[in-house]
């Protein structure tokens, strides 16, 4: 009998251990993807839904090129999977492990239901470099600090090589099976389920991204044989955009982290390569941290911060979201996010610190906004990084580390090119005035056509007052 392959955040055919295992054991398999509307797992935000739409479209074409079709359903997987297994006459369901608690619980429930019905769910590891249980301290407790975890990770050797794509990838078509399947197994209208309607804010993002497995492989190879060689400096230059930009593809598993790792393994300068591989390591570490702390997206990892007096200001939050704070580098980052669905890592740190510290707005508001607007929005990386910047989470990043947006601009956008690109109303300002236009001489502003408070907002908070306010709030938390 054919196997059923349930694709989740692994929308690729290469380096797919579950697919290989299914084909090895059964010779052919049926592919399914489910848009989960059961409410038991966190649904993707708007931007990720758009990227998912484009990715599923490309993925379906690849499956068709191998003689099958990917059935895309919308509904509750706990109900749909057993129905599909029965209809297809499949005895085994293959998929990769998921590591967030709600998804694990859902998988466990499905495994139990299948077992009762005489079939089996086979789960393999396939979305991380290493399964989260594998890296542990000598006492068996989870690591809390990245550097210590990374040492433990590396002590286990190089992550294994990607598995070869099966020579004959025999994917089966659903057409005959589902001829009279009824309403519940009717393919979803993915355009209706995933794309925005009015206004269509996503159409502008199309020009920044390519879709599908071949595109992701090409991006990884180009990066490995080019910018990787100077990643150590290139990754921090906000205007140069010399990071790999693979995060959306890694998010949906269009490419696997092992593939990326091994593309880079013998390329570039050693030091730069090491930094890049450790960034890939941060992705694994984020999942590791979420696995061991399921409430990470909703709760401070350090409970001391539960008593922090966050401000509730809809006005300031909206100014931050729209890139209208009056601090150019913050506005540049937030506008890049809105326009492209992605933001440079350095900018992410700056805007997150500005929200949680200078505006003293709860990091969860920021996490939510990123969740809705990033095409790489990821339950683990988003939460870990927000808590890291806010200083409420993982070790080695204290609350009192407050990014100064002006110093960050000096260091990482010294000519203001990033700001000019995303905040065009400031583009005619000279290099030395663009980071803090409110301080520029009236003549300079006039020549550049900038009127503070009219063509560009006055800062919504003074940087020194914001900093002092954050420190005062921090000192009042329990245990400080
Ligand atoms: P590269 O520099 O080329 O790095 C390669 C890969 O390594 C990335 O694609 C990513 O998978 C991984 N990586 C790099 N840095 C990190 C990191 N700090 N944490 C975890 N993984 C990392 N990344 C997401 O994928 N999804 C998110 O939702 C997300 N939210 C973030 C929120 C905040 C507040 C901050 C500060 C960072 C966040 N990041 C997130 C991490 C990082 O900013 C992005 O992974 C990176 O900018 C993606 O660009 P890239 O692919 O060019 O990265």
Predicted confidence at residue 479, as pLDDT, reads 60
CA angle 23, 25, 29 (to 5 degrees): 40
Question: Is there a catalytic annotation at residue 279?
Answer: yes
**Model confidence, pTM:** 0.97
Closest residue by Cα to atom 30, ligand 1, is 382
Q: What is the ipTM of this complex?
A: 0.99
- Tell me the pLDDT tens digit for each residue of 56-112: 999 999 999 988 999 999 999 999 999 999 999 999 999 999 999 999 999 999 999
Mean pLDDT of 333-359: 97
Q: Which of 282, 287, 369, 388 is catalytic?
A: 282
- 48 C-beta closer than 6 A to ligand 1: no
Pocket test for ligand 1, best of 250, 253, 286, 376 (most atoms within 8 A of CB): 376
Token readout for 223 is 């990066």
Q: Class assignment of domain 303-475?
A: mainly alpha
Q: Where are the domains of the chain?
A: 1-126, 128-161+214-292, 303-475
Lowest average pLDDT, out of 272-276, 312-316, 395-399, goes to: 395-399
DSSP letter at 132?
T
**Atom of ligand 1 at shortest distance to CA of 351?**
34
Predicted confidence at residue 104, as pLDDT, reads 97
Pocket test for ligand 1, best of 222, 228, 231, 247 (most atoms within 8 A of CB): 247
Q: Which of 28, 78, 241, 279 is catalytic?
A: 279
The CA distance from 64 to 73, in Å, is 17
Q: Is the pLDDT of residue 480 over 60?
A: no
CA angle 384, 389, 392 (to 5 degrees): 70
Quickly count: other Cβ atoms within 10 Å of residue 161's Cβ: 12
277 or 168: which leads in pLDDT? 277
- 340 C-beta closer than 6 A to ligand 1: no
- Tell me the pLDDT tens digit for each residue of 400-443: 889 999 999 999 999 999 999 999 999 999 999 999 999 999 99
Predicted confidence at residue 200, as pLDDT, reads 83
Predicted confidence at residue 477, as pLDDT, reads 85
Superfamily holding 1-126: HUPs (3.40.50.620)
- Tell me the pLDDT tens digit for each residue of 293-325: 999 999 999 998 999 999 999 999 999 999 999
Q: Which of 209, 342, 386, 422 is catalytic?
A: 386
- 389 C-beta closer than 6 A to ligand 1: yes
What is the phi/psi pair of residue 107, to 5°?
-65, -40
Segments in 195-297 forming alpha helices (H) = 213-224, 231-234, 247-251, 257-264, 270-292
Cα(246) to ligand 1 centroid in Å equals: 9
- Tell me the pLDDT tens digit for each residue of 141-193: 889 899 999 999 999 999 999 998 776 678 899 988 988 877 888 999 999 99
Predicted confidence at residue 203, as pLDDT, reads 84
- Tell me the pLDDT tens digit for each residue of 202-240: 888 999 999 999 999 999 999 999 999 999 999 999 999
Please provide the average confidence, as pLDDT, over all residues in the chain.
95
Quickly count: other Cβ atoms within 10 Å of residue 424's Cβ: 10
Fold classified for 128-161+214-292: 1.25.40
Token readout for 273 is 């390569």
Question: Is there a catalytic annotation at residue 310?
Answer: yes
Percent of the chain with pLDDT over 90: 87
């Amino acid at each position: 009998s054919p196997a059923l392959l349930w694709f989740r955040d692994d929308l690729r055919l290469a380096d797919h251990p579950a697919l290989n295992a299914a084909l090895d054991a059964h010779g052919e398999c049926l592919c399914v993807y489910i848009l989960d509307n059961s409410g038991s797992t966190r649904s993707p935000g708007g931007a990720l839904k758009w990227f998912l739409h484009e990715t599923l479209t490309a993925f379906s074409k690849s499956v068709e090129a191998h003689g099958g079709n990917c059935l895309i359903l919308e509904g509750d997987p706990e109900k749909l999977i057993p129905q599909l297994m029965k209809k297809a006459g499949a005895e085994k369901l293959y998929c990769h492990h998921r590591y967030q608690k709600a998804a694990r619980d859902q998988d466990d429930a499905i495994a139990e239901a299948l077992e009762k019905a005489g079939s089996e769910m086979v789960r393999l590891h396939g979305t991380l470099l290493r399964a989260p249980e594998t890296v542990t301290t000598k006492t068996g407790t989870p690591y809390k600090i990245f550097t210590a975890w990374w040492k433990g990770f590396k002590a286990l050797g190089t992550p294994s090589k990607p598995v070869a794509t099966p020579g004959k990838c025999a994917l089966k078509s659903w057409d005959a099976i589902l001829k009279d399947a009824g309403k519940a197994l009717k393919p979803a209208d993915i355009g209706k389920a995933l794309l925005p309607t009015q206004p269509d804010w996503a159409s502008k993002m199309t020009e920044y991204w390519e879709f599908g497995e071949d595109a992701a492989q090409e991006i990884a190879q180009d990066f490995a044989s080019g910018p990787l060689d100077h990643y150590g400096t290139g990754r921090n230059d906000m205007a140069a955009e010399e990071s790999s930009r693979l995060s959306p593809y890694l998010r949906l598993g269009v490419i696997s982290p092992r593939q990326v790792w091994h593309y880079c393994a013998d390329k570039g300068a050693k030091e730069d390569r090491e930094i890049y591989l450790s960034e890939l390591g941060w992705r694994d570490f984020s999942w590791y941290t979420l696995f061991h702390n399921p409430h990470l997206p909703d709760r401070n990892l350090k409970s001391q911060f539960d008593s922090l007096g966050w401000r509730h200001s809809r006005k300031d939050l909206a100014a931050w979201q729209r890139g209208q704070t009056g601090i150019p580098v913050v506005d540049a980052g937030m506008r890049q996010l809105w326009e492209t669905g992605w933001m440079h890592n350095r900018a992410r740190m700056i805007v997150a610190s500005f929200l949680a510290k200078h505006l003293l707005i709860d990091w969860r508001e920021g996490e939510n906004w990123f969740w809705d607007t990033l095409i790489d929005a990821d339950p683990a990386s988003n939460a870990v990084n927000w808590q890291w910047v806010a200083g409420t989470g993982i070790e080695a990043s204290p609350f009192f580390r407050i990014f100064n947006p002006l110093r960050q601009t000096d260091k990482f956008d010294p000519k203001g090119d990033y700001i000019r690109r995303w905040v065009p109303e400031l583009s005619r300002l000279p290099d030395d005035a663009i980071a803090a236009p409110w301080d520029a001489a009236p003549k300079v502003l006039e020549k550049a056509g900038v009127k503070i408070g009219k063509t560009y907002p006055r800062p919504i908070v003074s940087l020194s007052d914001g900093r002092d306010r954050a420190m005062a709030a921090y000192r009042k938390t329990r245990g400080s």
